[in-house]
Structure 1
């Protein structure tokens, strides 16, 4: 599989450049761009997995989430530049749904088939539950409610204020988990397992992994700009709305790296990392990427207030509550994964028909 992705990258990047210069049909370029980004994401996933072995599950999960979300952040910036605000908001919704339902669901389902019962840190699960409730239910729902009695300027001001608070709290959460309370809730058994796992050899050295991450990120930035310009014509060809393109297509392509990484970790019974990628990525999207995009939109002709549609909000709140109920006990199985997947496909059908 790694050789296949390597071949796609070697072929896809030059084709992306050639097709852009020669103005190939949008549908052809859309396929080339998507496949190339997914292949590049696989290299980013392998690089972050190598770093995770060296750094440990928490930092490793954070790295996977960060570089995975970097792809979506890059795509969203170019979409904002093109004035596709609805696509950006929909892609943020899709990331929340994709991570909590699709990624976690596939991880729990495939891992649960191989291992009857898989466990992860219940303390991390409960800590993340509170942040998920705050980030999605409080910070996303409040602007929608207040915006009903505000003008556009006031709504944008509210969004800017909320964005600053979200970024500050996200940085505080990282400081809490990685500095002040690092290892506080880790049992001796877990510590022993961590030492044992640290003996695992990474695929690439630290320097090589960081170099590949940098090159892959730059390549993704170039390809993403071209991808954004194909959305309108592709949507017209297939009858897809901007909402569906953002929620399903952009979210899946933009988060391919952590999707693959989380599933691989679950298949290896490394559930702490798998859950950290799925939930940590959701928190990073809601508490960092979304507010950063709101602030960045101030530099573009069309600003982006943090106001979602009602179907987007209801879907995200439902995904958060379902994920919390399933993960709060610190263990999972294949049926719980199937439940999350069923919820994702139900919402996917809804957004397609909307």
Structure 2
């Protein structure tokens, strides 16, 4: 990790805190807190990887899976506390779309510019594609056609969706980390090679960095969430658009950069695992957890999405499944994915504002 990132991040934290406590404009607070969260998320990810490396393969895998979307969880929890359920649901949609289409697409383009044809493990890709079709296609899309419109029915279906998705997520981890580790051994090796290229953090400094960045991200996320509604009203952005595009990008920016960097280095297995694996975590872990949190806060968030959200997620999953089918990628396939994401983002932009 570049040495200049530490002082730059510290400066951003000071600036965003100053903007909040000196009562700067809402837009200024929003922009500074959003920018500050991005490098902080990178430090959280790096410290989690370092702890995972010291903890061993299986415990490390569980740790990485649990903390992989920590920033998004923190933002989601704080938004639910403020009653922004539509925005949180939209951020779930945005994370899935962003990882599957934008991140994967940019990775294909960047990697394809340097390497005309890039190859990845087709068995692992098919396994991830199957999980995606199940988590998004079955868990999110199908239940929407069975609801009668009553809140009681919606909540009942949401409970079933959350429980089934979470159980399948645990089973997927068991599959990847225990019973069928050989399918993903190549990804582990690539990840280890990447770690050896950079200085490995010691255990206790990594734990300290994780705790520190988690606390700071919590404050930054609180300031971000507190400014979202007013900024949306000022700019004429809908709650759904802010969740799908703005919040999703802020929460996943550090992971996005890692996936693109791995593609540039021709490590497509790891790039795919970051992009597609993050989407799976959002659909099968983050969404059920946020649903449970919404019940605790008294702002129930049914896991039943709007038609634009369902259509976008369904199309994204099908497109990515087709792109991964042959175990190869090139820059043209990447442009198709990025183009699809831009069309969907513009579509969400046209929705009514707050």
Q: How does 1:29-44 map to 2 (within 5 A)?
A: 29-44=29-44
Alignment of 1:1-354 (within 5 A): 2-48=2-48, 66-147=66-147, 149-184=148-183, 190=186, 197=193, 200-207=196-203, 208-354=205-351
Which secondary structure does the structure 1 equivalent of 2:182 belong to?
coil
Alpha-carbon offset, residue 295 of structure 1: 1.1
SS in 2 for 1:42: helix
Q: Tell me the distance in 2 between the aligned counterparts of 1:87 and 1:44.
A: 24
Task: Give the alignment's TM-score, normalised by structure 2.
Answer: 0.91
- Contact 2:131/2:280 (CA < 8 Å) preserved in 1? yes
* CA contact 1:42–1:260 (8 Å) conserved in 2: no
3-state SS in 2 of match to 1:140:
helix
Q: CA deviation at 1:43?
A: 2.1
> Which whole-Å CA distance do the structure 2 matches of 1:340 and 1:48 have between them?
29
Residues 264 and 192 (structure 1), Cα distance of their counterparts in 2 relative to 1, 3 Å cut: closer
Instruction: Give the CA RMSD over aligned residues.
Output: 2.6
- Which piece of structure 1 moves more, 211-220 or 76-85? 211-220
Structure 1's unaligned 5+ residue stretches are none
Question: What TM-score do you get using the length of structure 1 for normalisation?
Answer: 0.91
Alpha-carbon separation, structure 2, partners of 1:282 and 1:192: 19
Query: Residues 196 and 140 of structure 1: is their aligned pair in 2 closer, same or farther, counting only changes over 3 Å?
Result: closer
Shift of 1:212: 2.2
Structure 1 residues 152-177: Cα deviation after superposition (integer angstroms, max 9, x where no partner): 02211220121011111100000011
Deviations 1:43-91 (CA, angstroms, capped at 9, x unpaired): 2344456568778999988866654411111101111110001100110
Give, in angstroms, the shift of residue 271 of structure 1: 1.3
Counterparts of 1:120 and 1:48, CA distance in 2 = 25
Tell me, in whole angstroms, the C-alpha distance in 2 between the residues paired with 1:14 and 1:159: 41
What secondary structure, in the 3-state scheme, does the structure 2 residue paired with 1:229 have? helix
2-side partners of 1:194 and 1:154: how far apart?
A: 46
| Structure 2 portions without partners, runs of 5+ | none
- Higher mean alpha-carbon deviation, 213-222 vs 315-324, is at 213-222
Aligned-residue offset at 1:2: 3.2
1:291 shift after superposition: 0.9
- How far apart, CA to CA, are the structure 1 residues paired with 2:103 and 2:188? 28
